[in-house]
Amino acid sequence: MTTTPNRPAQTVKLAVIQMHVTDQLDDNVARAEAHVRDAARQGAQVILLPELFENLYFCQVEREDYFALAHPQEDHPFIGRFQNLARELGVVLPLSYFEQAGQAHYNSLVCIDADGTVLGNYRKTHIPDGPGYEEKYYFNPGDTGFKVWATRYGRVGAGICWDQWYPETARVMMLQGADFLLYPTAIGSEPAEVESPNSHYMWQRAMVGHAVSNSSYVGAANRIGTETVEGLTQTYYGHSFISDYTGELVAEFGDSDEGALTYDLNLAEARKFRAGMGFFRDRRPELYGPLLTVDGVTRRG
């Protein structure tokens, strides 16, 4: 279903891609393209690849050498290839990549419309910092604000990985008019010294909560496989999924499945349900001042 200015998208077929990656850019890009083509053959109109699928998850360690993996958005080594692919297949591709902008580096995502046009760039807002996920060493905090793009197949809101744990991210994108929420991610086992659980359930529940409290479809794409970087090893737990607007997991991969997971989103039905639930009717933004502070104390004057 194509969106027109006067008639919002009624349905869309979403695909989330789960895949393994190697340390070879060309290999990863070719595999990602093959998965996109397979998803399109299944009728998918919006196709989400995992976070930073271009290489191993190098953020396991802090090494200067890995800054060389970043590239500017302009004349990027593979964004143009996926623009051509989107145009050829008539699909929307929210695409994760490691961005260099002057002396800054970002964990970023471009949204490519079904005609190959880049609609805009989002820079990851929330940057994690912990054993095995040393992203603050590599990435500046995003400065774009949250983004929602009006594509051929509806209004797409996309965060990136750590963003998916924050209800503020989901709520802002919904307030900006998103029809559904997408999260490319790279997450798996924690190092032995970390006490937090190696569980995909907590990861899923956080996003299912966004689905429930925003009455929105949610899709997440994760990588799989065991990766070793500078002697450190992590296993990525997959479990990419699509949740409906009531929080039901309507499609889910396991920890080793590779391919395209698809589901038909009934956006018209979701809009009706969302209006009836009244979550957005009953909001009290004038009382939410503490959310705009770090310590919960609203200061005036």
Structural tokens at position 297: 């104390």
Rounded CA separation 276/246 (Å):
12
Structural tokens at position 269: 């039905």
Instruction: Look up the CATH number of the domain holding residue 226.
Output: 3.60.110.10
Containing 201, the helix (H) or strand (E) segment is helix 200-214
Q: Is residue 300 part of a domain?
A: no
Helix (H, G, I), strand (E, B) or coil at 90: coil
Q: Is residue 262 part of a domain?
A: yes
Q: What is the pLDDT of residue 9?
A: 86
Q: Is residue 52 part of a domain?
A: yes
Q: Is residue 84 part of a domain?
A: yes
The residue annotated as part of the active site, out of 13, 51, 59, 227, is: 51
Helix (H, G, I), strand (E, B) or coil at 185: coil
Structural tokens at position 108: 């970023």
The residue annotated as part of the active site, out of 124, 135, 147, 252, is: 124
User: What's the pLDDT tens digit per position in 139-188?
Assistant: 999 999 999 999 999 999 999 999 999 999 999 999 999 999 999 999 99
What average pLDDT does the structure give for the chain?
A: 95
Reported as a pLDDT band with limits 50, 70 and 90, residue 4 is low
Rounded CA separation 20/224 (Å):
5
Q: Is residue 301 part of a domain?
A: no
The residue annotated as part of the active site, out of 111, 161, 227, 252, is: 161
Total of domains in the chain: 1
Q: Is residue 78 part of a domain?
A: yes
Q: Is residue 20 part of a domain?
A: yes
- Domain membership of residue 39 as a residue range: 11-292
User: What's the pLDDT tens digit per position in 36-61?
Assistant: 999 999 999 999 999 999 999 999 99
CB distance 45 to 215 below 8 Å: no
Residue 51 annotated as catalytic:
yes
Q: Is residue 39 part of a domain?
A: yes
Residue 111 annotated as catalytic:
no
Residue 190 annotated as catalytic:
no
